[in-house]
Amino acid sequence: MKVKVWGCRGSLPSPGPENYTYGGNTSCIQVTHGETCIILDSGSGIQRLGKFITPAVREMHILLTHLHIDHTMGLGFFAPLYNPDIEIHIWGPATAGHPLIDRLRRYFSPPLFPIRLTELPNHPIIHELSNEFFSIGDIRIHCEYLCHPGPTLGYRLSDGKATIAYIPDHELRLASNDFPNDPEWTSGYEIAKSADLLFHDGSYTAREYSRKVGWGHSSIDDAIAFAKMCKVKKLAIFHHEPSRSDLEIEQMLQDSLGNEELDFEVQMCAEGNEYNLEDEVENSPER
Amino acid sequence: MPAQPLELILARQFGDSLSMPFFLVDPDGNLLFYNEAAEDIFGLRFTDTGGMREEEWATMFKPTDADGIPIPPSDLPLVRTLTDRRPAHGSFYIDNLSGDRIRITVTSFPVEGRPDRYLGAIAMFWKSES
């Protein structure tokens, strides 16, 4: 699997020279494996991704963790949606009452957006998910509901050789009994366990989190403790606060790690990062 | 041990934070958790019992009616909820492990997650006057 980060900012796009290293686009990750193209979330990063799709692609799958605006705002600006030769599948969390297509129509309708789903050349094919296993091409996917306001899924993707886990918005401490000592009672454990690469919410410092309990996000310290519990090989901290500059993001990691020695790598996720999980080579950002 | 579904994790957290007795089971009736307030009534700490099967918890406190006649497990509110996935309510006596006979009133209800997953049941109960 090849993984590219097109956006890792949380809440709101944050362009600006002070955010050059980590980027300003909101959640969007591309996973490719042979002919299979999967996109995790359609934040503002998906707009740029749309310009780099190879002409041979005829089918794409967008897996939405949830429908908060920073994870969906780019959808209407994704050029392949307007290409009649490409079939788009949109997967997202089921609720108890409102079909996913109705919730997507709220975005694809005035006053939020001028074009309706029915006006696209091909109506996207909608799939509702709850806790389940399914496959797209050769990629095996496991999704589960996670602790975050509103129905929210985490995704675990595996090609049989490597596994990535995507948990961009997640409040660990609210949904864990005796965190981080009890995997059986920790939200997201089944998604992240033993992953080669985990993208996980680390929006806040521990001090900030104490004032934002219940907002649906985790501290960087909790994200690291979770990765340690799950025995992942690499952790990419995700969902950077929109007000946080490159320097502040780097300082946040330094403060959190201190002198602690971990047996896995921790990095602050940066837009443009690429991970080749076939040969474990990571390329630095060239956005 | 696979991790529990989010709804049960949150239910346990909720129950753990209450001062009212709280009892959580999975769809097969296996005990997952009871809180401190329930420990006070049972005379037994959850950390000492851990998980129990339905046939264990439904009999270990010897539920009886007001005349001391044993109540079969199938008539207990929580077992009725597990059987038909509907709320149930009732009062009966138990012998706790501290040797006291206590009248309790139980309300139980199923736990159903999005979109329509049956995940277990919760019983909340009160020590009531004889």
Q: Each residue of B19-41: pLDDT tens digit?
A: 999 999 999 999 999 999 999 99
pLDDT for residue A285: 53
Mean pLDDT, all residues of chain A: 94
**Confidence band for A281, pLDDT divided at 50, 70 and 90:** very low
Assess if CATH 3.60.15.10 describes domain A2-283. Answer: yes
Q: Each residue of A98-138: pLDDT tens digit?
A: 899 999 999 999 999 999 999 999 999 999 999 999 999 99
Q: Is B69 on the interface with A (CB under 8 A)?
A: no
Q: Which of B7, B9, B114 sits opposite A95 (nearest CB)?
A: B114
Pairing label, strands B22-25, B31-34:
antiparallel
Residues of chain B with C-beta less than 8 angstroms from the C-beta of A150: none
Residues of chain B with C-beta less than 8 angstroms from the C-beta of A130: 113-115, 117
State the nearest Cα–Cα gap between B34 and chain A, in angstroms.
13
Residues of chain A with C-beta less than 8 angstroms from the C-beta of B16: 177
Taking an 8 Å cut-off on Cβ atoms, the answer to whether B9 and A147 are in contact is: yes
E strands in chain A: 2-7, 28-33, 36-40, 59-63, 87-93, 125-129, 132-136, 139-145, 153-158, 163-167, 197-201, 234-238, 265-268, 274-276, 281-283
- Half-sphere exposure for A186 (CA within 13 Å, toward CB): 23
pTM of the model: 0.90
pLDDT for residue A279: 59
Q: Which domains does chain B have, with CATH numbers?
A: 6-127 (3.30.450.20)
pLDDT at A280 over 80: no
Q: Which long-range contacts (CB under 8 A, 24 or more apart) does B88-96 make?
A: B91/B128, B92/B63, B92/B64, B92/B65, B93/B63, B93/B64, B93/B65, B93/B66, B93/B68, B94/B41, B94/B42, B94/B61, B94/B62, B94/B63, B94/B64, B95/B61, B95/B62, B95/B64, B96/B41, B96/B42, B96/B43, B96/B44, B96/B61
Map tokens 């994704």 to a residue.
Answer: A78
State the nearest Cα–Cα gap between A222 and chain B, in angstroms.
17
Does residue A131 sit in helix, strand or coil?
A: coil
Mean pLDDT, all residues of chain B: 93
State the nearest Cα–Cα gap between A117 and chain B, in angstroms.
24
Q: b or e along B2-14 (b: 16 or more beta carbons within 10 Å of the residue's beta carbon)?
A: ebbbbbbbbbbbe
Residues of chain A with C-beta less than 8 angstroms from the C-beta of B13: 174-177
